[in-house]
Amino acid sequence: MIKKKTRDFANVDEVAEHVERLVEGWASVIRCKAAQYGGAACDRIIMVVFLDFYQPPPEGSYCVWDSTRPMLCEDCAIDLRLLDLDQ
């Protein structure tokens, strides 16, 4: 595997694409879903969950962390007033 340096990426989207290629098949990439809550489209990677995290393996009643889960990054949650850090 070729080691990348920070300067090898033009923007955060290139970093996200690189991360998704690296973890394909053995991790789930969770992205911000602010648009589902009326916010601006963010799509930041907020979490990478490795498949061996599931012990035992996920079943129908077990919560699976994947990119379809409605999760928000901290900035979007604050902008949408769903998270108040002053408390």
For the stretch 5-14, pLDDT in tens is: 767 788 877 8
Task: Provide the whole-model pTM.
Answer: 0.62
**Partners of 27 in the beta sheet?**
50
Based on its alpha-carbon atoms, the radius of gyration of the chain, rounded to whole angstroms, reads 15
Tokens 């098949």 map to which residue?
25
Largest CA-CA distance found in the chain, in angstroms, rounded? 45
Percentages of the chain per state (helix, strand, coil), in multiples of 5: 30, 15, 55
Tokens 């963010």 map to which residue?
42
Q: What are the tens digits of pLDDT across the range 64-73?
A: 666 666 788 8
Phi, psi of 76 (to 5 degrees): -70, -40
